[in-house]
Chains A and B, each alone.
Chain A
Amino acid sequence: MNIADDNLIRLHDISKHYEMGSTLVRALDDISVEIQRGDWVSFIGSSGSGKSTFLNILGCLDRPTQGEYFLNGVYVEELGPNRLAEIRNREIGFIFQSFNLLPRATALGNVMQPLVYRRIGYRQRREMARQALDRVGLGDRVDHLPNQLSGGQRQRVAIARALVTEPSILLADEPTGNLDSQTSADIMQLFDQLHREGQTLILVTHEEDVAGLGDRVIELLDGKIIRDRRAGEPLH
């Protein structure tokens, strides 16, 4: 079971199909990919190419129709819902395309929430959450509700929430999709810093310059990998 290599993530022939009436939507079609610890990988592709679907499977939120997924050497497909919840809590930090903050909790409350599922006491939780918010530069907005924050600030709260558990992998779905260029640059700076601290990063984007910041760029089209290149390589 244990794959003795550096591969944090190993996917083999992963497919995700949706049956819509009589037609079969192949959101993902036989994807095989390996990602190493410490890598910064960007997935790029047009809208509907299957990026979010792929990220959901990586994040153990969704299960593939077919294929094998090893995370940290663990064969994810055979785990029950409780083990998956544990993996989501310990191994994965997920930053959603639409932030997905808890609307009735403050910034601090949102960042504290994943720690609740780790049986960490209230005081320590609050301390850890404060540190995480400080790290993303939101130390002065801890008591704001999500709807009292700007888009960029919400994005930072989402990042802080993903970071607070010190996950093995950070997954980010269009982290700059809703932000202006200045805020985007700030956020990307933050990712760059995390990357240099050794954080494994998997980013989904459809902006070439955002993708170019990582080590590796994987291009998706209609659920298939059409290109896998080092960042900085020319497109054609």
Chain B
Amino acid sequence: MFYVILESTRSALISILAHGLRSFLTTLGIVIGVASVIAVISLTQGMSAFIGESFSSLGSNSLTIQSYTPISEAMRGVRARLTPEDLELIERRAGGVASITPILYASRSSQVRYAAQTTFSQIMGTTYAYRDVAQAWVQSGRFIAESDNLTRRRVTVIGEKVRDDLGLPENPVNEYVELGGEWFKIIGLLEAKGDVMGFDQDDIVLVPYSTMRSLAGNQSQIDIQIQLSLSEQAEVDDVTRQLTALLRNAHDLEPDEDDDFRINTAEQLMETFDTIISMVTLVIGGIVSISLLVGGIGIMNIMLVSVTERTREIGICKAIGAKRLHILAQFLIEAMLLSLLGGLIGLALGYGLGTAISSSIDSFPPASIPLWAIALALGFSGFVGVLFGILPAAKAANLDPIDALRYE
């Protein structure tokens, strides 16, 4: 058997090389199919590797609690809220929490001004605990302190992007910026973190939580976010369950009512992105396998033509002792090699394409092809070759020697 495969491979290669251009055109469908699979996979894989890295920088054992209003409720004018009382409740009653901080987003304008420069940024009121929860370290100056909150100081810690946008000096500490019509003194500059999926983590402005509350106006209506980090031994699921029970109780929810808040973990967020990416991969993979199918049909078509063209040759081979297996193997292996060759070219092309795309778009992470994708692409193209080679090969193998010899 090995001998047959070896000899068939030898003659298949000779035959493929003898019709170089035709072989290439035959397998073009496979080339394009595999190239697009590989391009897509290399891009999405590069992206998910990148997302993985970014999220670990977020602090993987942190939780975010937000209010959540289902659309049906929102239409009735009801808005769910998380209140400072909820925060207090959690601080007092929840176990497994290392640090906890409220975040109050600026409700109106999030315009930031320095001298003649203005920019828009994410203005958040928070406490000193934010530093631990969000792994946000200052590169110069200091972070928001407990005393800043107690005395509602008008101080701010800004991200690198904000500093850059406003044209602030390298060390912006002690400069003043205008936030929502009030002047704040810069006390710290955060370390640059880069962006996660288009959310620039350096595009933030932090102010003390109580300062933000006093500026927010209508205090009874505020809706805060709560971020907390877990202590070492705590299990994410346990804490989530506990928080859910606490908040449901505090919000007087009946057992048949849905939660009016959402508890997100960084891991969850990452899983969500991963799911989206694998969905995209799957959908594109589906489209691409159709193109491989079409490529396979192209191969089958040319192989059928080739069998007809070589009918006499097949007759000659049978006359000098070729068995059905020999002829079958030769054509099958020829189809498979054609297809594999297309797969290889497609692989190189797809990787080149992926790299070109990822390097031409700035924020795109570098392309990477996992080994399984290479194996899959080659395996699949080989399979397509065999699948669509069977019919022509069987046709050739079943030819009657004398009929084949007489064929003009």
Can you spell out 25 A-B residue pairs with CB atoms less than 8 angstroms apart? A56-B402, A59-B319, A62-B401, A81-B323, A82-B324, A82-B325, A85-B321, A86-B321, A86-B323, A88-B401, A89-B320, A90-B321, A96-B405, A100-B312, A100-B316, A101-B316, A102-B313, A102-B316, A104-B14, A113-B320, A114-B320, A117-B322, A118-B321, A119-B3, A161-B320
Q: Does B317 contact A (CB under 8 A)?
A: yes
A119 CA to B8 CA, complexed, in Å: 12
Among A61, A81, A118, A119, contact of B319 (Cβ-Cβ < 8 Å)? A61
Query: How many A-B Cβ pairs are below 8 Å?
Result: 61
Residues of A contacting B14 in the complex (Cβ-Cβ under 8 angstroms): 104
Contact with A along B293-334 (1 / 0, CB 8 A): 000000000000000000011011111111111100000000
A62 CA to B402 CA, complexed, in Å: 6
Residues of B contacting A43 in the complex (Cβ-Cβ under 8 angstroms): none
Q: Does B116 contact A (CB under 8 A)?
A: no
Residues of A contacting B313 in the complex (Cβ-Cβ under 8 angstroms): 102-104
Q: Chain A's nearest CB lies how many Å from the CB of B334?
A: 13
Q: Does B7 contact A (CB under 8 A)?
A: yes
Q: Chain B's nearest CB lies how many Å from the CB of A123?
A: 13
Residues of B contacting A61 in the complex (Cβ-Cβ under 8 angstroms): 319, 401-402, 405
B: number of interface residues (CB 8 Å):
22
Whether the pair A88, B402 counts as a contact (CB closer than 8 A) is no
Whether the pair A88, B18 counts as a contact (CB closer than 8 A) is no
Enumerate chain A interface residues (CB-CB to B < 8 A): 56, 59, 61-62, 81-82, 85-86, 88-90, 94, 96, 100-104, 113-114, 116-119, 161, 165
A161 CA to B321 CA, complexed, in Å: 12
3 tightest CB-CB pairs across the interface, nearest first? A89-B321, A117-B321, A114-B320
Q: Does B15 contact A (CB under 8 A)?
A: yes
Whether the pair A88, B316 counts as a contact (CB closer than 8 A) is no
Q: Chain B's nearest CB lies how many Å from the CB of A9?
A: 18
B14, B318, B321, B401 interface centre (most CB from chain A within 10 Å): B321
Beyond A88-B320, A94-B319, A96-B319, 7 additional pairs, beta carbon < 8 A? A62-B401, A86-B321, A88-B321, A100-B405, A104-B14, A113-B320, A118-B321
Name which residue of chain A comes closest to B322, CB basis: A117
Residues of B contacting A114 in the complex (Cβ-Cβ under 8 angstroms): 320-321
Q: Chain A's nearest CB lies how many Å from the CB of B13?
A: 12
Q: Chain A's nearest CB lies how many Å from the CB of B326?
A: 6
Given known A59-B319, A100-B316, contact A117–B326 (CB-CB < 8 A)? yes
Q: Chain B's nearest CB lies how many Å from the CB of A166?
A: 13
Whether the pair B402, A113 counts as a contact (CB closer than 8 A) is no
Q: Chain B's nearest CB lies how many Å from the CB of A82?
A: 5
Whether the pair B323, A117 counts as a contact (CB closer than 8 A) is yes
Enumerate chain B interface residues (CB-CB to A < 8 A): 3, 7, 14-15, 18, 312-313, 315-326, 401-402, 405
Whether the pair B317, A113 counts as a contact (CB closer than 8 A) is yes
Whether the pair B319, A88 counts as a contact (CB closer than 8 A) is yes
Residues of B contacting A102 in the complex (Cβ-Cβ under 8 angstroms): 313, 316-317
A61 CA to B318 CA, complexed, in Å: 9
Residues of A contacting B315 in the complex (Cβ-Cβ under 8 angstroms): 100
Name which residue of chain A comes closest to B19, CB basis: A104
Among B15, B316, B323, B405, contact of A85 (Cβ-Cβ < 8 Å)? B323
Whether the pair A116, B7 counts as a contact (CB closer than 8 A) is yes
Residues of A contacting B320 in the complex (Cβ-Cβ under 8 angstroms): 88-89, 94, 113-114, 117, 161
Whether the pair A104, B319 counts as a contact (CB closer than 8 A) is no
Q: Chain B's nearest CB lies how many Å from the CB of A132?
A: 13
Name which residue of chain B comes closest to A117, CB basis: B321
Given known A102-B313, A117-B323, contact A85–B318 (CB-CB < 8 A)? yes
Name which residue of chain A comes closest to B325, CB basis: A82
A81 CA to B326 CA, complexed, in Å: 13
Residues of B contacting A165 in the complex (Cβ-Cβ under 8 angstroms): 321
Q: Chain B's nearest CB lies how many Å from the CB of A113?
A: 6
A117 CA to B263 CA, complexed, in Å: 71
Residues of A contacting B18 in the complex (Cβ-Cβ under 8 angstroms): 104
Name which residue of chain A comes closest to B403, CB basis: A62
Residues of A contacting B401 in the complex (Cβ-Cβ under 8 angstroms): 61-62, 88
A113 CA to B322 CA, complexed, in Å: 9
Among A82, A90, A100, contact of B323 (Cβ-Cβ < 8 Å)? A82
A83 CA to B14 CA, complexed, in Å: 28
Residues of B contacting A88 in the complex (Cβ-Cβ under 8 angstroms): 318-321, 401
Residues of A contacting B316 in the complex (Cβ-Cβ under 8 angstroms): 100-102
Q: Chain A's nearest CB lies how many Å from the CB of B102?
A: 80
Residues of B contacting A56 in the complex (Cβ-Cβ under 8 angstroms): 402
A62 CA to B315 CA, complexed, in Å: 12
Name which residue of chain A comes closest to B312, CB basis: A100
Residues of B contacting A86 in the complex (Cβ-Cβ under 8 angstroms): 321, 323
A149 CA to B319 CA, complexed, in Å: 22
Q: Chain B's nearest CB lies how many Å from the CB of A102?
A: 6
A165 CA to B313 CA, complexed, in Å: 19
Residues of A contacting B7 in the complex (Cβ-Cβ under 8 angstroms): 116
Given known A100-B316, A102-B316, A116-B7, contact A81–B324 (CB-CB < 8 A)? yes
A114 CA to B14 CA, complexed, in Å: 17
A62 CA to B313 CA, complexed, in Å: 17
Name which residue of chain A comes closest to B8, CB basis: A116
A82, A89, A101 interface centre (most CB from chain B within 10 Å): A89
Residues of A contacting B312 in the complex (Cβ-Cβ under 8 angstroms): 100
Whether the pair B15, A104 counts as a contact (CB closer than 8 A) is yes
Residues of B contacting A100 in the complex (Cβ-Cβ under 8 angstroms): 312, 315-316, 319, 405
Residues of B contacting A90 in the complex (Cβ-Cβ under 8 angstroms): 321
Residues of B contacting A89 in the complex (Cβ-Cβ under 8 angstroms): 320-321
Residues of B contacting A118 in the complex (Cβ-Cβ under 8 angstroms): 321
A92 CA to B405 CA, complexed, in Å: 17
Whether the pair B3, A85 counts as a contact (CB closer than 8 A) is no
Q: Chain A's nearest CB lies how many Å from the CB of B407?
A: 11
A101 CA to B317 CA, complexed, in Å: 9
